């Protein structure tokens, strides 16, 4: 295979690869197309006219669920998850470059969080908050918060249990990406900064961060999109309000019209927007790096 | 040295602390609660904190009496394992082939990145959307059925295409092959190309090179990918619910059903059983490779 020309196996594998890509994208394209069905169209081909009816219906309200509200909830949650994932992952990634007590424990916890079936994590968080709720209702008065004990319904919510559930899914990815980054990071750059008298913070701010920034954008991309599309971990842990994927799952059993495809198209569009914005940012940052890196040798002698 | 170590330890803890705290509050403590609550009692509307094995006993109710026939719960686990095995096998074959093509046949770095991105992008789209995407293709009046009918292959639409085990396996493969491709690809690009050249020079056939050189060296990736796919499929309840038309029983579905009935201790007991089985599989797999070394 390292010889001149392409062996037969290349063409066979290229064909298999093409089939795989078709398999990946084909079904998704089908629903994107079908979401533009005419008003009389149903859930299957052939198309019955072309229109924006189903999108209008989605955002016009009056549907089965309030899609608009769920959309903004998911977006807000996704952004918060993204920011926390970036900050905590970068910080922890820095920590792992030193040897510290408990590093193996944190590493295996992160891996375990990634591979313990989502429904178990979700169930655990739900149970934790239930026990917490009961404790507050029972004991808040004793602790001198009588008003709290009366008004307390649940501690579960989008930005408590829901946020936590999403973070158990995004942080392991963030940490693994940080490992990949620092595996090929040249430590001598930091040494040079230190030798020039930079404080640890200055070293991080002006040397390390600009170099790792493209990959940090990648962590943000993972954080947002994993949260935006997350379902299994939120299913029990989010309380009474639903995110967009949960609404979507609820719709699969009840809706028989292409609204659901329109909703699918809209959520995919947001995912794609974020992916391409992130890729563009990464490309831009890498370009800037190349430009700035190149003047290292070409400066004044 | 000792003087320098102390503050750097402190800084490291400060840096790793926030992540540790999140895992503690939202993963480790909840996991402990699952185990504790699985031994609690319950009635129709609340859980009662007193020790009992009722959750476990009721799960396996009548299993001994029914032997040698399998009771519902054992049948369900057997079916889950069967689905898991099928999905694992298919994703492994596809994942290995795709990773092999990307790692060994694509020579330019740019093309390698572009093609891997093409494989990655769908991973960032909602699983539910990727599931319902099969409906217009596999449904009773879907593209596949109407195509086959028009071509005269069958006279009436196939019923088993959608809301069946077939649909579940298809959707799971569609959703999770990515988790197989990435780790295998990562191990493969680290293989020194000269080893393959050497095998070739020593007279190995393509197949011998594959089985004696490439597969052993790509083993870590294969194991990591397998762990991902197996744990996801073992715990899945969304895909099995949507694609199985809510008709197929599986380990994750049992937990979900119990939860919907608000039988938390029973759900927790089933979660502990599922966790035990999943960890047994992972323990067997991770004996083959040191996961930490491979990162």
pLDDT tens for residues A164-206? 999 999 999 999 999 988 888 888 988 999 899 898 889 999 9
- Give tens-digit pLDDT for B189-200: 888 889 988 998
Give the span between the Cα atoms of A119 and B237, in whole angstroms: 8
Exposed/middle/buried for residue B63 (C-beta within 10 Å: 0-12, 13-18, 19+)? middle
Four-residue CA torsion sign, A66, A67, A68, A74: positive
Tokens of A153: 């319904």
- Give tens-digit pLDDT for B45-102: 777 888 888 888 888 877 777 777 778 888 899 999 999 999 999 999 999 999 999 9
Residues of chain A in contact with residue B27, where contact means CB-CB under 8 angstroms, are 109, 112-113, 116, 121, 124, 168
Residues in chain A with pLDDT values less than 70? 1-5, 41, 43-44, 61-65, 255-256, 293-301
Give the span between the Cα atoms of A183 and A249, in whole angstroms: 39
User: Quick check: B196 and A1 CB within 8 A?
Assistant: yes
Q: Which of residues 205-264 of B touch A (CB under 8 A)?
A: 206, 227-228, 231-232, 234-238, 242, 246, 252, 255-256, 259, 264
Give the span between the Cα atoms of A219 and A214, in whole angstroms: 9
Question: What are the Cα distances from residue B221, in Å, to A115, A213, B94, B214?
Answer: 15, 27, 14, 11
Nearest to A31 among B132, B267, B295 (CB): B132
Tokens 């995004």 correspond to A170
Q: Which of residues 178-197 of A touch B (CB under 8 A)?
A: 179-180, 183
- Give tens-digit pLDDT for B146-174: 888 888 888 888 888 888 899 999 999 99
Give the span between the Cα atoms of A89 and A103, in whole angstroms: 14
Is the Cβ–Cβ distance between B92 and B106 less than 8 Å? Answer: no
Closest CA to A251 of A241, A240, A236, A262: A262
Min distance B66 CA to chain A CA atoms (Å): 29
B70's CB contacts (< 8 A; 6+ apart) are: B63, B78
Q: Which of residues 53-72 of B touch A (CB under 8 A)?
A: none
Min distance A228 CA to chain B CA atoms (Å): 8
pTM of the model: 0.87
Residues of chain B in contact with residue A116, where contact means CB-CB under 8 angstroms, are 27, 31, 231, 235, 275, 278
Min distance A301 CA to chain B CA atoms (Å): 34
């Amino acid at each position: 295979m390292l010889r001149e020309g392409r062996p037969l196996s290349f063409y066979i594998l290229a064909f298999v690869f093409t089939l795989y890509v078709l398999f990946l994208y084909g079904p998704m394209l089908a629903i994107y197309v079908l979401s533009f069905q005419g008003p009389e169209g149903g859930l299957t081909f052939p198309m019955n006219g072309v229109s924006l009816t189903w999108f209008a219906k989605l955002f016009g309200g009056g549907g089965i669920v309030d899609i608009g509200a769920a959309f903004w909830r998911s977006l807000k949650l996704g952004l918060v998850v993204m920011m926390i994932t970036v900050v905590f992952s970068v910080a922890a990634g820095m920590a792992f470059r030193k040897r510290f007590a408990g590093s193996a424990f944190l590493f295996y916890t992160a891996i375990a969080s990634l591979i313990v079936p989502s429904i178990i994590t979700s169930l655990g968080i739900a149970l934790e908050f239930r026990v917490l709720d009961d404790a507050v209702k029972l004991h808040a008065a004793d602790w001198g918060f009588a008003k709290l004990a009366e008004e307390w319904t649940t501690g579960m919510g989008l930005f408590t249990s829901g946020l936590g559930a999403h973070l158990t899914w995004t942080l392991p990815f963030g940490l693994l990406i940080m490992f990949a980054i620092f595996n090929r990071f040249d430590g001598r750059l930091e040494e040079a900064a230190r030798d020039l008298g930079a404080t640890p913070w200055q070293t991080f701010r002006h040397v390390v961060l600009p170099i790792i920034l493209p990959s940090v954008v990648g962590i943000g991309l993972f954080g947002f999109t994993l949260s935006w599309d997350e379902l299994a971990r939120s299913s029990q842990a989010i309380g009474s309000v639903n995110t967009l994927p949960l609404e979507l799952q609820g719709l699969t059993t009840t809706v028989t019209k292409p609204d659901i495809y329109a909703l699918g198209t809209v959520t995919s569009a947001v995912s794609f927007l974020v992916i391409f914005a992130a890729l563009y940012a990464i490309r831009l940052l890498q370009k800037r790096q190349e430009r700035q890196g190149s003047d290292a040798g070409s400066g004044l002698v | 040295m000792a003087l320098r170590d102390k503050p750097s330890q402190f800084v490291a803890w400060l840096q790793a602390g926030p992540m540790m705290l999140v895992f503690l509050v939202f993963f480790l403590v909840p996991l402990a609660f699952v185990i504790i609550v699985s031994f609690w009692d319950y009635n129709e509307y609340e859980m009662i904190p007193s020790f009992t094995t009722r959750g476990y006993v009721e799960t396996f109710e009548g299993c001994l009496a029914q032997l040698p026939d399998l009771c519902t719960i054992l049948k369900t686990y057997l079916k889950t394992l069967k689905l898991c095995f099928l999905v694992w096998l298919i994703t492994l074959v596809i994942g290995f082939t795709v990773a092999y093509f990307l790692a060994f046949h694509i020579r330019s770095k740019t093309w390698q990145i572009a093609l891997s991105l093409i494989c990655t992008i769908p991973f960032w789209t909602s699983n539910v959307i990727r599931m319902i995407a099969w409906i217009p293709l596999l449904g009773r009046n879907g593209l596949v059925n109407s195509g086959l009918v028009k071509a005269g292959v069958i006279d009436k639409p196939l019923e088993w295409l959608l809301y069946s085990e077939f649909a579940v396996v298809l959707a799971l493969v569609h959703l999770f092959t990515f988790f197989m491709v990435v780790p295998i690809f990562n191990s493969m690009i680290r293989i020194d190309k000269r080893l393959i050249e050497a095998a070739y020079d020593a007279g190995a056939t393509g197949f011998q090179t594959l089985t004696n050189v490439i597969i052993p060296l790509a083993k870590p990736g294969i194991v990591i990918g397998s762990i991902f796919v197996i744990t996801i499929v073992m715990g899945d309840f969304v895909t099995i619910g949507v694609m199985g038309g809510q008709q197929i029983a599986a380990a994750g579905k049992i937990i979900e059903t119990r939860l919907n009935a608000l039988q938390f201790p029973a759900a927790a007991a089933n979660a502990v059983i599922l966790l035990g089985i999943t960890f047994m599989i992972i323990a067997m797999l991770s004996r083959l490779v040191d996961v930490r070394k491979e990162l």
